[in-house]
Amino acid sequence: MLAAGEIYIPDMSVFLDGSLKEYLQGGGVKGRLLIHTAIIRRFEDDAKLGSSLGILGLEEVAAIYNMASKMGDVTVEYVDMVPRSADPKDPENVILSTARELGATLITSDTMIKRVCEAMGIRHVYIGKGAGLLEIEKWFQRYPDIMSVHLKENTLPMAKRGSPGNWELVYLDNKVLNREYLERVVREVLSTAYSGGNGAVIEVMRSHSLIVQYRDIRIVAVFPPVSDGIEITAVRPLVKKRIEEYNLHPKVVERLERGAEGILIGGAPGAGKTTFAQALAEFYASKNRVVKTIESPRDMVLPDQVTQLSKNLATPEELHDILLLSRPDYTIFDEMRDTADIQLYVDLRLAGIGMVGVIHATSPIDSIQRFIGRVELGMLPSIIDTVIFIDKGNVSKVYSLEMTVKIPAGLREEDLTRPVVIVRDFITEEPEYEIYVFGEETFVVPLKRRSVEVSKRAVDQVLRVIGKYAPLNQVIIEPREDTVVIKVPQEYYGVVLAKSLPRIGRIKRKFKVDIRIEPRQ
C-alpha cells in the first residue's frame, strides 16, 4: 500500500467499470485524489448526446466524491491543468501528462494505459479485475444448447436454444431485469475488457453502443437514445464444424480447392454462414494456404496461423494496404454490410487475392444482387465465381457465374443481343438466371417457369390495359412452355400495340414473365 499523503489521479477506465469505488472501499487510496475535469467534460459531452456510458461516468464521479467525503484519510480535488505536452482534445493523454508532471500515481484498470505508464516511467496502480466467470456467462449455464442470450431492461431475460435454423426462444428467469442490473453487467464487461482478461477485446466503443469479444462470446450492448432501453445481446458459436462434415458434392470440394477464388457465402441471419466460413478458413489453412480474415468483431475461433484483422480497429485503406502487401492466398471477409465493404472485397479480388465474402441474403440470387448497382455488370464473373447459400446450417445451393453475349431470355429481336451474365446451378450446370442491362436498368431474370400465381397476376394487369382498346371477350390467352401469348382480334391489333405496348413492357419487367401480343386471325 502506498504511503499516506500521496497524490492519485484516476483515468476514465476506473470510472466506467466501477473499479475505483471498490478500490476506495478497500482502503487502497490514502491522500489526495485528483479528478481531472477533462474526464468530466468528456462524460458530460457524451451524456448530452444521450449516451448511457456518459451518464454512468458522471454518476460514478458523484459516487466517488460522496464516498471520499465520508472517509477521513481521502480528500477529493478537481484539477483542470493541461500540460504543454498534452493534447487537450484527448482526456487520457491529458491525465497521463498531468500525472507525470505532478509526480502523482495514476490509477487505471486499462492494460494499455498500464503499459504506457511503464514505458513513460509514470507511477501507477493497476486495479484491473482478474479473469473470473462473468455475469453474462452464467446465463449460458442454464442450458447446454443456448445460442444467444438477450437481456433488456424491464423485460424477462430470454435466450435462443437449439441450432441455426432450428431454435426456440425461451425465458431464463421470471424476474424482470432492471437498469441497475444491466449497468452492472456492462461495467463488469468493460472491466474485463480493459484488463484484457481471457483475451477480452473492445471491438467497438461508441457513445451509444459497445461491442466486446470475450473468449468465444460476442457481447453487444446498446444504450438510449439509440435503443429505448439498455439492451445486451451475447452470442456464442454453438457449432464448430469441419468442411468434411457438410457432405459437399465432390465437384464443390474440387471447386473450392482448385478453382474458386471469388466466393460469396450467403444466408439469412443465424443460418450458419460464419460457421461455414470458419470451416472454410481451416480447410484452406490445412492445405498450406496463407489465410487471413477481416471480422467485425473478431469472433471466429481459428488456429494461430490464421491472422484475424479487425474492421473496426482499422480503416478500409489500412486493411487494403495490409492485405495487398502481405498477399494472402485467401481472405475471409465476415461480414460485408455496406458499399465500402463490397468495394474493399472487389478491390482485393481484382488485385489477385482469393476472397471469401460473407453476406446476408434471403435467397441464393440475393447474394449476387447485393453487388448489382455497386459494380459494373461485366465485372461480376471476375469477382464472384462461386456462390454458396447456407440454410439451417447446411449448404443448400451452389451457383457459378459466367459471361456471354446473346439475346437475353424473353427477348426476340436479334438486334437486342448484349452481354449477359448466366447464373448456373454448379452441380447440375443448369442455367437458372440471366442478368443483363436493358436501357438504364439491370434485370435479373429467372429462367425457370414462374409460378402460376405470378403469371396470372401479370396477365390480369395486361388484360386490364388491353381492355381499354379491344373487347376482352374476343381475346384469346394461350399459355405456352416459357411464355404467355395473348391474341387480339386483327382489327384491334394495331391500336393495342400503339397505345399499350410501353405499359405492357413495364408489366413484363415487373413480374419477370414473357407475355407476347399477337393478332388473332
- Does residue 428 share a domain with residue 291? yes
Per-residue pLDDT tens digits for 59-104: 889 999 998 888 888 889 999 999 888 888 888 889 999 999 999 9
Is there a domain that residue 155 lies in? yes
CATH code assigned at 508:
3.30.70
Is there a domain that residue 168 lies in? yes
Average pLDDT over residues 457-472: 87
- Does residue 282 share a domain with residue 161? no
Answering whether pTM is above 0.75, one says: no
- Does residue 328 share a domain with residue 221? no
Rounded percentage of the chain residues whose pLDDT exceeds 90: 37
DSSP 514: -
DSSP H helices, 296-338, are: 316-326
- Does residue 469 share a domain with residue 433? no
Is there a domain that residue 402 lies in? yes
* Dist CA 293 CA 453 (whole Å): 44
* Dist CA 235 CA 220 (whole Å): 9
- Does residue 391 share a domain with residue 329? yes
- Does residue 106 share a domain with residue 153? no
Is there a domain that residue 19 lies in? yes
- Does residue 226 share a domain with residue 145? yes
Is there a domain that residue 1 lies in? no
Q: 205, 235, 265 — which closes off a domain? A: 235
Of 39 and 3, more confident: 39
Q: 429, 446, 463 — which closes off a domain? A: 446
Is there a domain that residue 48 lies in? yes
* Dist CA 240 CA 232 (whole Å): 24
Per-residue model confidence (pLDDT) at position 521: 67
Distances (CA, A) of 378 to 348, 373, 384, 409, 432: 17, 12, 11, 18, 18
Average pLDDT over residues 317-323: 91
Per-residue pLDDT tens digits for 166-220: 788 999 999 999 988 998 888 888 877 776 666 778 888 887 888 888 888 889 9
pLDDT band at 301 (very low <50, low <70, confident <90, very high): confident
Per-residue pLDDT tens digits for 375-393: 888 899 999 999 999 988 8
* All three cell numbers of 516: 407476347
CATH code assigned at 191:
3.30.450.90
Is pLDDT above 80 for 32? yes
Residues for the chain: how many in total?
Answer: 521
Is pLDDT above 80 for 164? no
Is pLDDT above 90 for 298? no
Per-residue model confidence (pLDDT) at position 133: 77
- Does residue 252 share a domain with residue 398? yes
- Does residue 261 share a domain with residue 188? no
Is pLDDT above 90 for 342? yes
Is there a domain that residue 99 lies in? yes
Name residue, grid cell 443465424: 270
pLDDT band at 448 (very low <50, low <70, confident <90, very high): low
Is there a domain that residue 390 lies in? yes
- Does residue 205 share a domain with residue 226? yes
Average pLDDT over residues 454-479: 83
- Does residue 356 share a domain with residue 256? yes
Is pLDDT above 70 for 155? yes
CATH code assigned at 52:
3.40.50.1010
- Does residue 456 share a domain with residue 442? no
For residue 499, the enclosing domain spans 452-520
Number of domains in the chain: 4
Of 333 and 476, more confident: 333
CATH code assigned at 349:
3.40.50.300
Q: 100, 126, 152 — which closes off a domain? A: 126
